[in-house]
Chain A
Amino acid sequence: MSSSKLVAPELASIEIKGMTRHAFMMRSAVAAGSVYGLSTVGPFVSRAIAQEGGGDVDILNFALTLEFLEAAFYDQAVKNTQGLGAKNKKLAETLRDNENEHVDALTATITDLGGKPVAAPGVDFGKAFANEKSFLETAQTFEDLGVSAYNGAAPQIESKEVLGAAGSIVQVEARHAAAIRFVRGQPISEGAFDKPLEMQAVLDAAKPFIKS
């Protein structure tokens, strides 16, 4: 096969044999990843490795990290964005309040499950608040990322209650994303399906904003 035309040719060289359900899924995952890019592998592979994962607490702590980031982002945006108009300031305040509620709810859920909530990461948003335009642009990236992250991780959640809570939060993230896109005059979505990301892809995308 002409591997040069593939997005991820290294994946195409992997061969998986067997007729089982899992073998089929792995083949699909690898084919999807090699042709369409690594982010499409997430939904397949995450399922296959689900048994090895840290369970619901792990996923919730991952979500909590994202919410901390988003809450801090809007908190700083409201205070620091140069030339932030009244209407967009009000929108940022609504989103900040929502993200703070998500932080509280996730922290409480993790504690209820006997887990230890992660601490808020240190953040630096660079020049995001230099003007209204760069704030809105970064906000869109964050919200779209949040939607992908929840959608990618949710199928691995074991508890129906936790899944319901995650679903309830991701719907709000999607509404935020659409509101920001609307303000920016962007299409409210990229196509008819919100693309899920695997956890690592999400962490990588959020990395420039997290101080180690």
Chain B
Amino acid sequence: MRETIEPESGSALEELTKDPSSRKRFLGMVGGAGAAGAMAMFLAACGDDEKDKKADSSGEKKDAKGGGGVDLEIVNYALTLEYLEAQFYADVIKSGVVKTKAVVEAAKMIGQNEQEHVDALLATAKKLGTPAPKPKTDFQAVIDGGEKMVLATAATVENLGAAAYLGQAGRIESKEILAAALAIHTIEARHAAALNTIVGKPIVPDGAFAKPASMEEVLPKIKPFLVS
């Protein structure tokens, strides 16, 4: 069972503290680590943060609207990438093209991570403004290429994803969104390293310092998977 927790204000958190059953449900949803719970909360806090800024007429130097604009652009960019990744793993698993049992398990786990990223980013985008639509994707050519091609593509996409997040870190205005993006960034890096190991690539292809990629560099590379 999946639920999206979107506390509208501090009161939702108070409810969580007061109500053991709601707390239990929430903890059950996030699993043992509790990390996703923290994420849902700081992502929710971001949204209200922006609202509060707009409501507050006492002019802070940083333009709240401008900040939301840049951050919304980045959140929607990340959302688009995560939609694509999540759909990729879903299509791959459904196709049955991957035969190695351990690899199927890894693909399921990674796919689940990507879906959670989608959920968290979608909730954040909604708080900031209008979320990017789910892109129409087509991975048939990759799937037709067999398990090896699927894994190579997965590795490429994950390395690209990690570079994409790193490329945006310095542009993000909200510290909370930055924290959330970093928490996702390192998960993409973990996926990339694991897949690199599986396909026989170095775990750190850029050496001791990972290289960022800009939107201009990333978007053309995902274009082959998009259906217009």
Contacts and interface: CB of A to CB of B under 8 A. Distances in A.
B78 to A, nearest CB: 13
Contacts of A47: 175-176
Contact of B49 (A21, A27, A154): A21
A193 to B, nearest CB: 4
Interface string B197-228: 10000011001111110000000000000000
B132 interface: no
Main secondary structure of the interface of A (DSSP, over half): helix
Nearest to A25: B45
B212 A178 contact: no
B149 interface: no
B210 A171 contact: yes
A187 B169 CA distance: 26
Interface residues of A, number: 67
A175 B179 contact: no
Interface in A115-156: 147, 150-152, 154-156
A168 B212 contact: yes
Contacts of B52: 19-21, 24
28 contacts: A1-B18, A12-B17, A31-B16, A32-B13, A36-B37, A36-B38, A43-B176, A97-B208, A105-B208, A151-B183, A154-B178, A154-B179, A168-B212, A171-B162, A171-B185, A174-B187, A175-B203, A176-B193, A176-B204, A188-B194, A190-B33, A191-B35, A191-B113, A193-B35, A194-B187, A194-B190, A195-B35, A195-B183
Interface of A: 1-2, 5-6, 12, 19-21, 24-25, 27-28, 31-32, 34-37, 40, 43-44, 47, 50, 94, 97-99, 101-102, 105, 147, 150-152, 154-156, 160-161, 163-165, 167-179, 181-182, 187-196
